[in-house]
Amino acid sequence: MYVRKNIRFGVVWRLVWRSLLVFTIYDSVICLLYEFGGAHWIDIPWAPVATLGAAVAFYIGFKNNASYDRFWEGRQLWGSIVNLSRIWSIRAFDFVEAPDADLRRLHRRLVHRHLAWTNALRLHLRRQTAEHWDTDVAPFLDPAEDADVRRLSNPPTHLLRQQSNELRQLHQRGLLTEFRHVALMDTIQDLFNAQGGCERIKNTPFPRQYAFYSFVFVWVFAVVLPLGLVAEFAKMGPGHIWLMVPFAVVVSGVFNTIELVGHTSENPFENEMNDVPMTAICRSIEIDLRELLGETELPARIEPVDDVLY
């Protein structure tokens, strides 16, 4: 997630320079043909061009709204995971009873397994499980449990299943009352709901008919725009026709940039510049929960890299 108040010019330039170059070359060719090639037949009335521009603006506006909704829903789901993580820890501390010798170890296992779940979910959504499991998930699990879970296709689901199994065993041993058992299971259910919401966004691509035609319509507009402007600028007098190039490039560039903004927000779990900062959220959860455990050797919070928080 980009966190700087103002987007640096270099970031924008990397996204748009190729399209601006294409627009500049194309618009210059139109001017050359009209001015020196005598191809006055290429100009078209401005009214249909303006109508097309309005239609394209509405279309890409709709696409951008839908793209932002996907990002914002993803951020809300991870916000709920933050709150549920705290609820899980507090309920584990207050509800689970055990002899003093075992209590801290039991609390630590329940909380650390939850931290493994948050990181496993992040890696599962980003398709990074194989590369980062040893550093981000395995340290929070017992070796035997780690060996069982890492080979599965959906590790977060099985980690929550392990939490459920442990709660059942605690209830059977009389260390967890029925009411408290139900309350903790409700929290697991909420965690499953949050995970399912994230997986729904991840596994359901943005409708390609909207994404594809938005791209096509922007470039169709960029093609016809100079054809509608060239005669208008030629009417202003000798030499003024060349003013059409910067004006057409700016207008085409604005439309193309708006389309790119929507495109970069379609999939919020890809670890890109505009995505949900799941690494930073997981680290914040880890710090909060380990502080609740009384641990002091804590990792540092994730800081932005080149103004991007991952």
Give me the pLDDT at residue 277, please.
94
Domain assignment of residue 270, yes or no? no
Rounded-to-integer distance, Cα 82 and Cα 243, Å: 54
Q: Tell me, yes or no, whether 118 and 193 share the same domain.
A: yes
Q: Tell me, yes or no, whether 21 and 64 share the same domain.
A: no
Amino acid at 87: I
Per residue, the 3-state secondary structure of the chain, as one string, reads CECCCCCCHHHHHHHHHHHHHHHHHHHHHHHHHHHCCCCHHHCCCHHHHHHHHHHHHHHHHHHHHHHHHHHHHHHHHHHHHHHHHHHHHHHHHHHCCCCHHHHHHHHHHHHHHHHHHHHHHHHHHHCCHHHHHHHHCHHHCCHHHHHHHHCCCCHHHHHHHHHHHHHHHHHHCCCCCHHHHHHHHHHHHHHHHHHHHHHHHHHCCCCHHHHHHHHHHHHHHHHHHHHHHHHHHHCCCCCHHHHHHHHHHHHHHHHHHHHHHHHCCCCCCCCCCCCCCHHHHHHHHHHHHHHHCCCCCCCCCCCCECCECC
Domain assignment of residue 70, yes or no? yes
- The candidate with the shortest Cα–Cα distance to 117, out of 91, 96, 89, is 89
- Joined together, the tokens standing for residue 31 give 């001017």
Q: Tell me, yes or no, whether 75 and 90 share the same domain.
A: yes
What predicted TM-score, i.e. pTM, was given to this entire model?
0.89
What Å distances lie between residue 68 and 51, 61, 206, 210, CA to CA? 26, 11, 11, 14
Give me the pLDDT at residue 71, please.
92
Give me the pLDDT at residue 56, please.
92
Q: Tell me, yes or no, whether 106 and 134 share the same domain.
A: yes
Domain count, the chain: 2
Domain assignment of residue 309, yes or no? no
Q: Tell me, yes or no, whether 154 and 296 share the same domain.
A: yes
Q: Which domain covers residue 224, as residue numbers?
A: 1-42+209-265
Q: Tell me, yes or no, whether 224 and 181 share the same domain.
A: no
- Joined together, the tokens standing for residue 245 give 């190039």
Give me the pLDDT at residue 103, please.
86
Domain assignment of residue 310, yes or no? no
Domain assignment of residue 100, yes or no? yes
A 10 A CB-CB count for 191 gives 24
Give me the pLDDT at residue 101, please.
67
Q: What's the average pLDDT block by block, 10 residues per block, for the chain (310 residues)?
A: 80 88 92 82 87 92 90 95 96 85 87 96 93 93 92 94 94 91 96 96 86 90 91 80 90 91 86 90 95 90 87
Give me the pLDDT at residue 132, please.
92
Distance of CA 89 to the CA centre of its chain: 27
Domain assignment of residue 111, yes or no? yes
Give me the pLDDT at residue 201, please.
94
Q: Tell me, yes or no, whether 21 and 151 share the same domain.
A: no
Q: Tell me, yes or no, whether 188 and 229 share the same domain.
A: no
Q: Tell me, yes or no, whether 32 and 65 share the same domain.
A: no
Domain assignment of residue 272, yes or no? no
